[in-house]
Chains A and B, each alone.
Chain A
């Protein structure tokens, strides 16, 4: 499988790898998995009082495309409001990374992780 340069860049220099305290009331955690390829993705956001995502971290066990998708997702989420972050679509991630059709599901997984993290945060704050 030939990876695009952007995928390789994110794979070799993943942005924002790490872990936040899932118990922190200002942290939202999204944990998702793709059973067929065994990928596991954790995406976390820290939201400030103004409702802005001030930090995002991820950890992904999976192929290069899954790692790149989640790495890019954390980059894009930083500085956004929750509502803005929720509008990030897998197609945008896939396009930016030039993912081939067989790897589109990796970007879907990243989008689902974003949504799960935002939902977790909102639930903690009693917003939904």
Chain B
């Protein structure tokens, strides 16, 4: 785990609930401060420092703005890093995922843009619900297992969101 923590870079306390607009504004301000252009005339050491700061800032921002990445990061802060590549056995949820993928295939076959819009709304609602559940339990050591399961589910839904975007692009062409 790099120091200082991603949240500290933004002068925030570790928390799952974040104002993403505020985070983006703060990121732009901070990024300006360490932009390489500002250090064109500085010493080599200062330039290198600025570059490092810029990279950690970017990494922190990418992690914090994504709910599953933020969730995984919070769990790592609380009790050790969780592997990225794992096999999950979460039968009901996985069955649901499979059905959603099948639905998405059907939407692709029928080129149903309205259907895609409805699908997106349902997906967003499921993500909001998942985020709320995670926010309520991640900081409770007794619910660690549940928080991990919810984080993994977020990762699946994140990937599904990506698939939906891909489909939209294909249908737009």
Contact = CB atoms under 8 A, between A and B. Distances in A.
A35 B154 CA distance: 8
A112 B89 CA distance: 9
Contact of B89 (A38, A42, A61, A116): A116
A92 B155 CA distance: 28
A32 B88 contact: yes
Contact of A59 (B85, B90, B98): B98
Nearest to B101: A61
Contacts of B2: none
B156 A38 contact: yes
A67 to B, nearest CB: 13
A99 interface: no
Query: Size band of the B side of the interface?
Result: 20 to 34
Contacts of B162: 38
Query: Size band of the A side of the interface?
Result: 10 to 19
Contacts, number: 58
A48 B101 CA distance: 31
Contacts of A35: 86, 88, 152-153, 155-156, 159
A37 B84 CA distance: 9
Interface of A: 31-38, 40, 42, 59, 61, 105, 108-109, 112, 116
Given A37-B159, A40-B94, A108-B87, 14 more contacts: A31-B94, A32-B87, A32-B88, A33-B90, A33-B97, A33-B156, A35-B86, A35-B155, A36-B85, A38-B162, A40-B101, A59-B98, A61-B97, A105-B85
Interface in B94-149: 94-95, 97-98, 101
A109 B86 CA distance: 8
B123 to A, nearest CB: 13
